[in-house]
Each structure stands twice: as C-alpha cells, then as structure tokens.
Amino acid sequence: MSHKHSILNLLGIKDKNIKVMDKDWLKEEVRNGLHCKIISAKLTYTPEACKCCGCVNEGSIVKNGTKLTHPLLLDMAGCPTYLELKKQRFLCRECGQTFIAETCIVKKRCHITNDVKRSIAVQGTRNISEKDLALEHRVSNNTVKRVFGDFYDTFRQVYTHLPENLAIDEFKSVKSAEGAMSLIICDSDNKKIFDILEDRRNKSIMDYFMRFPQEQRAKVKTVVVDLYGPYQKLFQALFPQAELIIDRFHIVTQVNRALNMARVSFMNTLKKSKDLKANRDYRKLKKYWKLILKKEETLNSTEYRYHRLFKGLVTERGIIDYLLSLDEGLRLNYNAYQTIIFTVNHRKPKLFSSFVHEKQQGLTVKMDQALKTFRQSEKAIINALNYDYSNGLVEGINNKIKVIKRAAYGYRNFSNFRNRIFIEYKLLEIKTAA
C-alpha cells in the first residue's frame, strides 16, 4: 500500500478518483484563529457522458482547468481539517458548456463532507445540544438542523396498530404546547415510546385515539395511568376491554403527602407553645420526618444509637413510639399511612379494599380525601396490586426528556423537541442514502 493510499485511507476517503498531491500535500494554516491542517488532493476522471447535454463521451469531452474547493473533513489530531480539492473541469465540445467533476464524499455545491454530516447525525443520539454539536463539528447551528432533517424522517404515527399494554403519563413540554403539558404514551411490553402528544387535554387525546381502528382499541388489555380522575373515565371509554391500572407510586404519594401534612399541622400547634418540652418535641418531629415515612416493618428496634434531641441511646422504633405518643391524631394518620403502603408493597388487594371501606376515626381532611380517592378508583387500584405493570418506565423516560430539554436550554418548537426525543431514543433510523 503506497503512503498516498494510506493517507486517503486514514481520512476515510473511498473515492478512487481522488489522488493526494505528490508533494506539499500537507499544509498547516491559521484560519479564524485556529491551526488547521490542509490536505491537497485532486479529483479527476474521464466522464462517461456530458452532464449538460447528456451526449456520450467519445472524445468530445476534454479537460478544461480545475476548480479549487475546500470541503471540511472530520478533525484530525484535534485540528480542523480541510481537503484542498482541485476538482477537474470538463468542456463538452458538443454543447460548448462546462461542468465540474463530482465525488461521493461531498455533495455538489456543498463544503461539508458527508462523513461530517453522518457524524452529526450519529452524535445526535447522545444527549448533547445542537449548538455543541455544531461547535464540535465546526459547522453552523443551521447545518445541524438541516442534517437532522436530511438524515432522519420526521416521526409520523400511522394509526394502524396499538400496543396491548399501554403506559401513559404527562410531562411539561414546550411553552407553546396548549396547556403546557404533553402526553407520553409507552408500550409497557417492549418498553419503548409509542408516541408523544403535544396536548394532554381530553379532547385531543380522544381525537388521537379515535383515529385508530375500533378493533385495535378493543385489543388494548391494560392502561397504566395516574390518579387524575378524568383520565380514568376517558381511557375506559376509549379502550372498553382494557383494565385500568393506577400507578402504584401515585397511590403511595397520596398518603405520603397526607401524613406529612398531618405531622406539620400538629407541629404548628406545638410551635406556638412557650413550653420547653413542646419546643423540643417540635424539633424532634421536624428532624425525624423521614423516619415517620419509613415502612414500619423496616424500623430498627434492636440497635441503640445516640440521638442528641433524646439525650441518650434510642432505637428507631423507640423514636417513632415516642413521637406517636405525643398526639392521638398523628398516631391514627400514621397507622392509616402504614396500612396503605403495606398493602401496596405486599400486594394485598383484599386488605386494601377492606381498609378503605372501614369507617376511620380521627383522620385529617387530607387523609380522608386520599382514602375517598382510593374508593373512587378502587377497581383500578386493585388492578395495580394484581398486575405487574407500572409507570416506572414512563417516569424514567420523563426524567430523560427533562434532561434532553435542559441540555438544549429548552425548545421552542414542539415538533423539533419531539423529534430529538425520538432520535435520542434511537426510534428513528438514519437514512443511508442522504
């Protein structure tokens, strides 16, 4: 392998018509304050036909000078690298017009090689802003946008098929989105994004799913949603055969919030008191808020540790017993909370429904409300305890979407945002012939 061939090989140039110059083929130059490497080469061949009139070359097309171009290559050794490519110009004697030699490494009238564009398209799957991609590849922001447009098709729903098990959640998208919240629909089985809707309001969700054929909607077996009431009615109407499942995490948050509020309202009664003991109890309740939310069965009752506020050795169990002894209301709320999370964690649907239907005394308004919500969506919650599907997957995707948005410093246009999400989740194929 000659060294000139090796140079082309290193640069990844596959076009056989390009030859590196015999001497002075590598120059270094300062361009825009950056040290650049410039590799000189020539592109020439015998054309088969005229590009202008189409006549077959039987000696009528002659070489007629060259045109100097500087297509951008991928960086070499950290330096911007350009190809100083002398393109052959041809003159057609039949029509008297001239045309310039073409190559597969760079498009006609373009000064960015296809390798650079492909690299941008591939790097687009990483969580990196378009601006940084542009800087990294030494192109403009608009080039990056154009490359995405050229290499990826815009995602379009075909409305022919629906997954059997859906997981649906909402997320905060772009400002321009109606209602500022968008809806994400996932396939619980293959764990992929199925679609992203700009508007999460009932009418547009209805319009969207109604575009799928009736038999596809009837095939949906489960839908995981959050506790938001109107959604449950809507999805039950859209998917008559489906079992609605409330996400378990949302069940727990309801009682979690209620217990926290019960604790804080009790703390506020202590705060006003001038009594020293009450003050100390206030601080205890404030400090051990996390312990109160801990699952009762995991509280440690054997390990004694020193706790400053207790001025002595005490176990976790001991702390909780003391805190609950302060107020009967707090104790009742605590028990309700622990029963709910126990039934959810250990999947005890029967215990759950008997508990929420029991007449409870001394609960705060918030806790009562939580239990009332549970009664209203009882069937869907029981499903949550019987099925393994949850919204964990969607919450994870939501989290990544947030990061995508942050990395780009926000998106103004919803469809650009959506497309980038699909690109980063590798749900859009890179087009090979671009």
Token couple for 178: 């109606």
Q: Cβ of residue 101: shortest distance to Zn ion, in angstroms?
A: 15
Residue 92 interacting with Zn ion (CB under 5 A): yes
Distance CA 182, CA 164 (A): 22
Residue from 20, 38, 43, 50 binding Zn ion (CB under 5 A)? 50
Q: Cβ of residue 49: shortest distance to Zn ion, in angstroms?
A: 8
- In one-letter notation, the amino acid at residue 231 is Y
Distance CA 40, CA 82 (A): 9
Nearer to Zn ion, 94 or 136 (CB): 94
Distance CA 396, CA 226 (A): 15
Distance CA 140, CA 146 (A): 10
Residue 100 interacting with Zn ion (CB under 5 A): no
Stretch that binds Zn ion, among 45-53, 121-129, 159-167, 337-345 (CB under 5 A): 45-53
With 0-12 / 13-18 / 19 or more C-beta atoms within 10 angstroms meaning exposed / middle / buried, residue 57 is: middle
Residue from 29, 31, 35, 53 binding Zn ion (CB under 5 A)? 53
DSSP line for 231-249: HHHHHHHH-TTPEEEE-HH
Nearer to Zn ion, 92 or 246 (CB): 92
Q: How many residues bind Zn ion (CB under 5 A)?
A: 6
Number of H helices, E strands in the chain: 17, 14
Stretch that binds Zn ion, among 47-55, 102-110, 130-138, 375-383 (CB under 5 A): 47-55
Residue 52 interacting with Zn ion (CB under 5 A): yes
Stretch that binds Zn ion, among 48-56, 227-235, 302-310, 334-342 (CB under 5 A): 48-56
Residue 95 interacting with Zn ion (CB under 5 A): yes
Q: Are 171 and 401 in contact (CB under 8 A)?
A: yes
Q: Cβ of residue 59: shortest distance to Zn ion, in angstroms?
A: 13
Q: Are 69 and 85 in contact (CB under 8 A)?
A: yes
Nearer to Zn ion, 98 or 335 (CB): 98
Q: Cβ of residue 99: shortest distance to Zn ion, in angstroms?
A: 8
Which residues of the chain form contacts with Zn ion (CB under 5 A)?
A: 50, 52-53, 92, 94-95
